[in-house]
Amino acid sequence: MPEFVRSLDVSDPKQAAMLVASMRLLRGSGYVGFDGEVPALHTQAALASAYAHVTAPLRRLIDRYAGEICVSICAKQPVPAWVKDAITRVPEEMRAADRRSSTYERAILDLVEAGILAPQVGAIFDGVIVDVSGKEPTHGSVTIQAPAVESPVTGTVNLPLGQAVKVTLAVADVATRKVAFALA
């Protein structure tokens, strides 16, 4: 999969759309906690194999527990009760923390994009339609190259997924952190 993603040519609209789809597919991770038998679903999707990612304990809460398990195994000692007691609730705590982190990061990116684009409301950009709503095919997402932004786009006709288009910057509001384009 990594070779395929790296081989995509972002100057080709269809391949640019595939790159965006690939990034969405491989984004994020999940957590599973268990004590004893390994759960049936424990593979990392992009690698299609079992996988554990452990970093410094101060970076992510879950690493504090994983590190303690590793220390116990290496010392041939039982895993401490405080770790075993928390092992089933930590994955949900991590999912909640990841959601908060993603929301925060997206808000910062939205603010920067709106600030950069605000002086250009009404300008026409070259873009690629990278997503089309299944419910409303006149709504979706467009990626423009300069500046590199992916934002909502609407049209009066169905959006042509994977096709190069001209779009007009309709909204770039710093106060609401909103950027939106319209099919030109």
Could you report the per-residue pLDDT of 107-165, keeping only the tens digit for each? 999 999 999 999 999 999 999 999 999 999 999 999 998 888 999 999 999 999 989 99
For residue 115, which of 183, 181, 176 has the smallest C-alpha distance?
Answer: 176
pTM listed for this prediction: 0.68
Do 93 and 165 belong together in one domain? no
**Tokens 């319209």 sit at which residue?**
182
Query: What is the residue range of 96's domain?
Result: 2-114
The residue out of 72, 97, 114 marking a domain boundary is: 114
Could you read off the pLDDT of 115-131 as tens digits, one per residue? 999 999 999 999 999 99
What's the number of domains the chain is made of? 2
Q: Are residues 30 and 83 in the same domain?
A: yes
Helices (H), 44-89: 61-74, 81-86
Query: Is there a contact between 168 and 184 (Cβ–Cβ < 8 Å)?
Result: yes
90 and 125 housed in the same domain: no
Token pair for 174: 């710093």
Residue 151 CA to residue 105 CA, distance in Å, equals 15
Tokens matching residue 117: 């684009």
Same domain, 8 and 98: yes
